[in-house]
Structure 1
Amino acid sequence: MGKLKELLMWKIRGEIPLSKYKERGLVFGENFSMEMGCTLDYSHCFLIEIGSDVTLAPKVSIIAHDASTKRSLGYAKIGRVNIGNRVFIGLGSIILPGINIGDDVVIAAGSVVTKDVPNNSVVGGNPAKFLKHTEDYLIKQKENLSKLPVYDESYTVRKNIDKTKKEEMKKALRDKNGYVD
């Protein structure tokens, strides 16, 4: 992300730039993508490590401390959060302190991850539970590619999708899902 874009994100949307997290000790690998509205535990981000090829969808929260014990015990609980490689964390998901997420994992939107997630897993729910192996999920999605509508990049906002294409998509996706580049 460019410095100007990062600064604008911080000033306009009130989001902390990735560079500030990194200065505080956040570790992340190549091709890390954090979409709008994500919250990483700023005060304890040095306890968070994120691998390569990881995507955080919008509004994901990763928490490395829990102050629920502070008033009663005088101490907040803390825990490391380790996220492996090739992980997708869906919109609005919450990762709690002390969690290890393996490689090749998909976490469904809206999940609350309260336990470790092993390699090659798709999990979802509150609390998140194992749904299937990532390989099985991808096999099913590949099968669907031949059955459902597939759209190229011209059907995206980043390529300025026009009104005609929007209407075409809406009509085709009335009672089923599809795929877009």
Structure 2
Amino acid sequence: MNKLNPKTELDILKERGLIVGKNFNFFNSHIDYGHCWLVEIGDDVTITNSTILAHDASTKLQFGKSKIGKVKIGDRVFIGYNSVVLCNVRIGNDVIVAAGSIVTRDIPDNSIVAGNPARIIGKTSDYMEKHRENLKTKPVYDTYWPYKTREQIEKIRNDLEHDYGYDE
């Protein structure tokens, strides 16, 4: 958004027919501008540095037509950095798409997928339970990243020399 054009990219996509639910987090990502009206995104979804495509132009030169298909993303979905979701794909509820994944087919509820093409590697519920337990024993930091002091940063660096923790 800027002073000359107060509309964000997301505002424009919604005007063009993109459907999004509540608490949609859209960071440095791209949703198919020409076919955004074929994309539906549920509640509590985060998409980070990724691409959602509702068309496939591989047939355009040969036939003069692009393949198009709906993309439906359920509730409580996280799409990790540098992932691509191709057209005609449904992603269920409570799904984690690992960074760098290429989603070429439907993903059922409660799944973690990774790879190219993305394949199921686990259950979201198991993953969350593991981290719920780890939060009791691993280092946890509560200052949001832009407000960390140099001292806090140095402490975190030292704490995480041989393990991981959790941050705000």
- Same fold per superposition (TM over 0.5): yes
User: In the alignment, residue 44 of structure 2 is paired with which amino acid?
Assistant: D
1:80-91 → structure 2 map (5 Å cutoff): 80-91=70-81
Report the counterpart of residue 103 of structure 1 in structure 2.
93
Structure 1 position 156 matched with structure 2 position 145: yes
Q: Deviations over 1:61-80 (max 9, x none)?
A: 00000111111121111110
150 and 99 in structure 1: CA distance in 2 versus 1, 3 angstrom threshold: same
Q: Deviations over 1:142-180 (max 9, x none)?
A: 12112211111x2521xx111111111111112221101
User: In the alignment, residue 73 of structure 1 is paired with which amino acid?
Assistant: F
TM-score, normalised with respect to structure 1? 0.87
- Write the distance in 1 (CA, Å) between the matches of 2:107 and 2:81: 17
Report the counterpart of residue 33 of structure 2 in structure 1.
42
- Write the distance in 2 (CA, Å) between the matches of 1:173 and 1:10: 44
Report the counterpart of residue 144 of structure 1 in structure 2.
134
Report the counterpart of residue 8 of structure 1 in structure 2.
2
Task: Tell whether the 8 Å contact from 1:10 to 1:17 is kept in structure 2 after alignment.
Answer: no
User: In the alignment, residue 151 of structure 2 is paired with which amino acid?
Assistant: T
Report the counterpart of residue 166 of structure 2 in structure 1.
179
TM-score, normalised with respect to structure 2? 0.94
Structure 1 unaligned spans of 5+: 1-6
53 and 123 in structure 1: CA distance in 2 versus 1, 3 angstrom threshold: same
170 and 8 in structure 1: CA distance in 2 versus 1, 3 angstrom threshold: farther
Task: Tell whether the 8 Å contact from 1:155 to 1:165 is kept in structure 2 after alignment.
Answer: no
Report the counterpart of residue 3 of structure 1 in structure 2.
none
1:167 pairs with one of 143, 154, 166: 154
1:56 pairs with one of 28, 47, 55: 47
9 and 127 in structure 1: CA distance in 2 versus 1, 3 angstrom threshold: farther
Structure having the larger proportion of residues in helix: 1
The total of aligned residue pairs comes to 167
Deviation of 1:49 (Å) = 0.2
Report the counterpart of residue 114 of structure 1 in structure 2.
104
- Write the distance in 1 (CA, Å) between the matches of 2:124 and 2:73: 16
10 and 99 in structure 1: CA distance in 2 versus 1, 3 angstrom threshold: farther
Structure 2 residue matching 1:43: 3-state secondary structure? coil
State the 4+ residue runs in structure 1 displaced beyond 6 angstroms: none
Q: Percent identity?
A: 46
Structure 2 unaligned spans of 5+: none
Structure 2 residue matching 1:42: 3-state secondary structure? coil
Structure 1 position 79 matched with structure 2 position 66: no
Task: Tell whether the 8 Å contact from 1:63 to 1:95 is kept in structure 2 after alignment.
Answer: yes
Structure 2 residue matching 1:146: 3-state secondary structure? coil
2:18 pairs with one of 22, 26, 32: 26
